[in-house]
Every structure is written in structure tokens, then in C-alpha cells.
Amino acid sequence: MAEIAYARISTAGQTGSLKTQVERFSSRGVDPDLIFAEYRSGGNTDRPKLKDCLTTLRKGDTLLVTKLDRLDILKALEKKGVGFKAL
């Protein structure tokens, strides 16, 4: 069982926010290889890092995000048997 993290920003002005999100996950002890970060609008459904993140998740894992608005796929996680935490 692993903690896997997804970080996302949607505007260029949030660049520091992406770094901050990644740092929060790192300080929690999340393996750097299990932190998926990208610059994509929430309205853009083509999110390669999110797809990679979801492919990595296994039953019993927990997906971490910093804010609920960073992710909108809770039902899919539940079906997969994956836990969820917003930091």
C-alpha cells in the first residue's frame, strides 16, 4: 500500500503553487517517483500525468491531492478500491 500524489496547476501564474504542492507531498514522505505533477486546466480532459497516476494506483493505495478542486474522479477511485486524501 502506497501513497501516490497528484499535483496540478491551471495557470502560468500558479507555478510556485505546483512546487509547493510537490514539496508538501515530499515532506510527507511520498516517493518522488510516485508524485505526478502537471500544468493543465481543470477543463482539459487530456491530462497525461493524471492518466499515469491512475494507472499506477492499486487496490489499497491512497491518492493524495492538496485541494479537492485538483481532482474530480472520486467515483473511479472508489471502484478501484483506492483511498483518497486531500491535504
Q: Which of the following is catalytic: 10, 17, 27, 41?
A: 10
Distance CA 12, CA 61 (A): 31
Could you tell me if 10 and 41 are in contact, meaning their C-beta atoms sit under 8 angstroms apart?
Answer: yes
Distance CA 82, CA 62 (A): 6
Catalytic status, residue 10: yes
Distance CA 55, CA 21 (A): 21
Could you tell me if 70 and 53 are in contact, meaning their C-beta atoms sit under 8 angstroms apart?
Answer: no
Residues with catalytic roles = 10
